[in-house]
C-alpha cells in the first residue's frame, strides 16, 4: 500500500489474497473460516516441523527405553507367575548364596528352580569351624586360573640348617702345667711353643730343697726302726708334688735321695704356651706350660631364631647321661674335599642381641689335625622330624583330644561304657610314622599366609573349593629337595588341596565375592560387568564331579547311591552332580536325593518316592 492510499480513506482496502493468503476470504461463513484457519495453521504451517517432531519422539523412546520395557513387562506378565513383594525373595536350596527377586530365573550353578522365602528368613547354614570361605568356579575359570590339586600325604621330611662357624680348641682337653713346689728350673726338656708332647713325657727338671728334705725323711722313716706315720706323711707329700707311687717305691728300694723333681705332661698334645725359661726360680703354683690336645676340636656356629625350634631343649644338655645326638657335617676352605662329621654337644643359654642368633657347639673328631683352630667352617646340621619336640607334643595333644572326645561319645551312647582303644591306636600309628621320619605335609605353594590366618584351599568337588584354616609346622625339605609344611591341624590324609592358582582363587573370593556365580547358563550374574562367557573348549567333567562327590560317602552308603544312580525327585539328575547327595529315611528305608532342596518333595508322598527309587534301582541293575 502506497503513502497516498494511506491518507485517502476513500481508497478501497486490499483483498486478503493480496496479502499473500494470510486471511480467509470474506465470503466464507463461520465454519468455513474455522476450517480455513485449521487447514492454514495445522496442515500447512506445521507440515515442515513433522520431521523434527518424529526425531524428538524417537529420542524420548531411546532415553526412556528401560522404563518403557519395565512397564511392558509389568503389563504383559502372566497372572500365575510368582512375584516377590517387598517381604519375599527367591533362593536356591542347594546354593543359598544365589538369591533373586523373581522366580523366572534358575540357579546359575545347578539350574534348579528357585524357592520362595521371606526376607531375613535365611536357611543358609553357617560355615563349619575352621572354614573361612567357599567358592565354586566354572570349568573355564578353573582352567583360566591354572588351578592344580594335590593329595595330602605322608612324606619323608627333614630340616637342614646351614651356618658358618669357627674351629676352636676343645676346652675340656686344655691343661696347664704348674710348679707344685718352690725351686729352680735346672733343665727344660720342652723349650718351644707348639712342640708336640706325649702323655707322661718329661717337660722340665726342678731342683727343690723341700724335695730333698722330704725324700730324706722318706728314707729315714722307711728303715726298720723308722716311724710308719712319718713314712706315710712323706709318701703323701711326694704324691701331691706329682711323684707317682712307683717312683716313691724306687727311691725306697735304691735308698738314694732324688734331688730333682721331674715335671711331666698330663696329656698328649702340643704346647700352646710356655711361661718360663731355663734356670728360672719359681714358686708353688707358678704356671709353666699350657698344653692342649686337638684330636677333638670344637666348632661354634650361629643359628638364627627361626631355626631354634629344631634344636633340642636346653634342659637336655644339663643331664650327665644320655644327651641328644644331632649329627653335623663341617666343610672348610682349607680342606674343601674333606667332610668332617660330629655331633651337637651344647647350646648357649642366651641369644646375641646384635646378631639375633644363638651360639651352638659341635664336637668334631680331628685325628689328622686337619681342623686347625681359628679357621672358618661351613656347618650343616640335619634334623629328623622325630628329634623335633614340636611334632611329638602336637601328637600328644591330638591323642588327649581324641581320647577325651571318644570318652564323651561313648558315655553319651551308653553310660558307664568304657572308652574304645581307637584313639590309642591312632596315636600309636602316628608315632610310628613319625619315628620313620614321615609327616603329613603339603607343598609350600599351597599355603596362603594372611598374617593372622594360614589358609589352604581344599577341593570339595569338581570346581568347588573351600578355604581351610590350618596350623602348620616349620618349613622342611622333602626327598625331592622341595619345601613342604607339616600339617599339625586342619587337614586329613587324602584331602585334595590347591597347589597352583590358590592365590588367584583367594584374590577372587576377596575382591569379587560373586565370582563363583559365573557358570554355564548363568542368569543375571552372567550379564554383569565382570562376567565372561564359558567357552565350549572347557566342558565340565561331570563324571569326575560325581565320583568326587560319592567318594565322600562311606562304603555302604556309596553302594546304596550307586545302586540308585538318579534322584527320584529331580528327574534325570544323577546323584553327586550337585555335590554329596543327601540321605533320607522314608518309611524306614534309606534313600538318596540329589540335594537338600529335594527333601521336602520326597516326603510329600513317601510311597510314590519309594516306588520311584525302586524303579531307578531296577533300571540301573539292567
Query: For 209-219, what is each residue's pLDDT tens digit?
Result: 888 888 888 87
Between 610 and 241, where is the model more confident?
610
Residues 6 or more apart in contact with residue 84 via CB below 8 angstroms: 90, 101, 102, 103, 116
Q: Is the pLDDT of residue 291 over 90?
A: yes
The predicted pLDDT at position 20 comes to 43
Helix (H) or strand (E) holding 241: none
Percent of the chain whose pLDDT exceeds 90: 8
Tell me the torsion sign for CA atoms 611, 615, 616, 621. Answer: positive
pLDDT tier at 405, thresholds 50, 70, 90? low
CATH no., domain 171-292? 2.40.50.100
- Mean pLDDT over the full length of the chain: 77
The predicted pLDDT at position 526 comes to 35
Between 357 and 144, where is the model more confident?
357
Find the range with the poorest average confidence among 54-58, 128-132, 297-301, 376-380.
128-132
pLDDT tier at 288, thresholds 50, 70, 90? very high
CA 200 – CA 198 distance, rounded (Å):
6
Summarised one tens digit per residue, pLDDT across range 259-278 is 788 888 988 999 999 999 99
Instruction: Give the dihedral of Cα atoms 164, 165, 166, 170; nearest 10 deg.
Output: -160
CATH no., domain 135-157+391-527? 2.40.420.20
Q: Which architecture characterizes domain 160-169+294-384 according to CATH?
A: Beta Barrel (2.40)
The predicted pLDDT at position 82 comes to 45
Give the pLDDT mean for 485-501. 88
What pTM did the predictor assign? 0.60
User: What's the CA angle centered on 507, arms 506 and 513, to 5 degrees?
Assistant: 90
Domain ranges of the chain: 17-75, 77-125, 135-157+391-527, 160-169+294-384, 171-292, 542-621
Find the range with the poorest average confidence among 306-315, 346-355, 407-416, 574-583.
407-416
CA 150 – CA 341 distance, rounded (Å):
38
What three-state secondary structure class fits 594?
A: coil
pLDDT tier at 515, thresholds 50, 70, 90? very low
Summarised one tens digit per residue, pLDDT across range 365-382 is 988 888 899 898 998 888
What three-state secondary structure class fits 388?
A: coil
Helix (H) or strand (E) holding 160: strand 153-168
Summarised one tens digit per residue, pLDDT across range 566-585 is 888 888 788 887 777 888 88
Summarised one tens digit per residue, pLDDT across range 77-115 is 554 444 445 677 887 766 666 777 777 777 776 667 777
Amino acid at each position: 500500500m502506497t503513502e497516498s492510499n494511506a491518507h485517502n480513506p476513500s481508497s478501497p482496502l486490499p483483498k486478503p489474497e493480496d496479502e499473500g493468503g494470510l486471511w480467509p476470504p470474506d465470503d466464507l461463513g463461520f465454519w468455513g473460516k474455522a476450517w480455513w484457519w485449521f487447514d492454514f495453521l495445522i496442515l500447512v504451517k506445521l507440515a515442515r516441523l513433522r520431521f523434527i517432531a518424529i526425531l524428538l519422539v524417537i529420542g524420548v523412546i531411546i532415553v526412556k527405553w528401560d522404563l518403557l520395557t519395565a512397564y511392558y513387562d509389568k503389563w504383559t506378565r502372566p497372572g500365575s507367575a510368582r512375584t516377590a513383594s517387598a517381604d519375599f525373595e527367591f533362593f536356591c536350596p542347594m546354593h543359598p548364596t544365589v538369591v533373586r527377586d523373581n522366580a523366572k530365573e534358575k540357579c546359575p550353578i545347578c539350574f534348579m528352580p528357585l524357592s520362595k522365602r521371606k526376607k531375613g528368613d535365611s536357611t543358609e547354614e553357617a560355615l563349619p569351624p575352621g572354614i573361612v570361605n567357599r567358592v565354586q568356579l566354572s570349568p573355564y575359570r578353573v582352567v583360566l586360573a591354572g588351578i592344580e590339586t594335590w593329595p595330602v600325604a605322608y612324606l619323608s621330611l627333614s630340616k637342614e640348617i646351614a651356618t658358618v662357624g669357627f674351629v676352636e680348641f676343645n676346652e675340656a682337653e686344655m691343661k696347664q702345667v704348674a710348679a707344685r713346689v718352690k725351686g729352680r728350673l735346672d733343665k727344660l726338656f720342652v723349650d718351644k711353643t707348639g712342640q708336640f708332647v706325649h702323655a707322661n713325657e718329661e717337660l722340665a727338671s726342678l731342683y727343690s730343697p723341700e724335695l730333698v728334705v722330704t725324700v730324706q725323711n722318706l728314707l729315714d722313716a722307711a728303715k726298720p726302726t723308722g716311724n710308719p706315720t712319718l713314712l706315710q706323711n712323706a709318701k703323701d707329700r711326694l704324691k701331691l708334688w706329682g711323684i707317682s707311687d712307683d717312683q716313691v717305691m724306687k727311691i725306697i728300694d735304691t735308698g738314694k735321695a732324688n734331688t730333682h723333681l721331674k715335671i711331666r705332661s698330663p696329656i698328649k698334645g702340643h704346647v700352646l704356651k710356655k711361661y718360663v725359661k731355663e734356670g728360672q726360680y719359681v714358686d708353688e703354683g707358678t704356671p709353666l706350660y699350657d698344653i692342649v690336645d686337638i684330636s677333638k676340636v670344637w666348632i661354634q656356629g650361629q643359628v638364627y631364631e627361626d631355626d631354634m625350634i629344631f634344636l633340642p631343649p636346653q634342659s637336655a644338655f644339663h643331664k650327665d647321661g644320655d644327651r641328644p645326638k644331632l649329627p653335623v657335617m663341617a666343610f672348610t676352605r682349607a680342606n674343601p674335599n674333606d667332610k668332617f662329621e660330629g655331633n651337637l654337644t651344647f647350646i648357649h643359654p642366651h641369644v646375641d642381641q646384635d646378631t639375633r642368633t644363638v651360639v651352638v657347639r659341635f664336637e668334631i673328631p680331628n685325628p689328622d689335625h686337619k681342623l686347625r683352630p681359628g679357621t672358618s667352617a661351613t656347618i650343616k646340621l640335619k634334623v629328623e622330624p622325630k628329634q623335633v619336640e614340636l611334632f611329638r607334643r602336637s601328637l600328644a595333644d591330638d591323642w588327649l583330644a581324641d581320647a577325651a572326645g571318644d570318652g564323651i561319645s561313648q558315655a553319651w551312647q551308653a553310660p558307664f561304657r568304657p572308652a574304645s582303644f581307637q584313639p590309642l591306636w591312632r596315636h600309636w600309628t602316628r608315632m610310628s610314622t613319625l619315628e620313620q621320619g614321615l609327616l603329613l605335609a603339603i607343598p609350600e605353594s599351597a599355603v596362603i599366609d594372611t598374617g593372622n590366618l594360614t589358609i589352604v584351599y581344599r577341593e570339595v568337588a569338581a570346581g568347588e573349593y573351600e578355604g581351610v584354616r590350618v596350623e602348620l609346622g616349620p618349613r622342611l625339605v622333602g626327598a625331592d629337595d622341595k619345601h613342604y609344611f607339616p600339617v599339625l591341624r586342619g587337614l586329613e590324609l587324602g584331602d585334595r588341596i590347591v597347589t597352583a592358582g590358590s592365590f588367584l582363587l583367594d584374590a577372587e573370593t576377596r575382591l569379587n565375592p560373586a565370582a563363583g556365580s559365573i557358570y554355564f547358563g548363568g542368569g543375571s550374574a552372567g550379564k554383569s560387568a565382570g562376567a565372561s562367557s564359558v567357552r565350549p573348549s572347557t566342558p565340565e567333567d561331570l563324571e569326575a564331579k560325581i565320583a568326587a562327590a560319592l567318594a565322600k560317602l562311606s562304603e555302604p552308603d556309596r553302594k546304596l547311591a550307586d545302586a540308585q544312580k538318579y534322584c527320584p525327585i529331580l528327574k534325570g539328575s544323577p546323584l553327586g552332580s550337585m555335590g554329596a547327595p543327601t540321605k533320607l529315611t522314608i518309611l524306614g528305608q534309606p534313600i538318596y536325593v540329589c540335594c537338600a532342596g529335594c527333601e521336602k518333595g520326597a516326603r510329600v508322598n513317601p510311597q510314590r518316592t519309594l516306588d520311584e527309587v525302586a524303579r531307578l534301582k531296577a533300571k540301573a541293575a539292567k
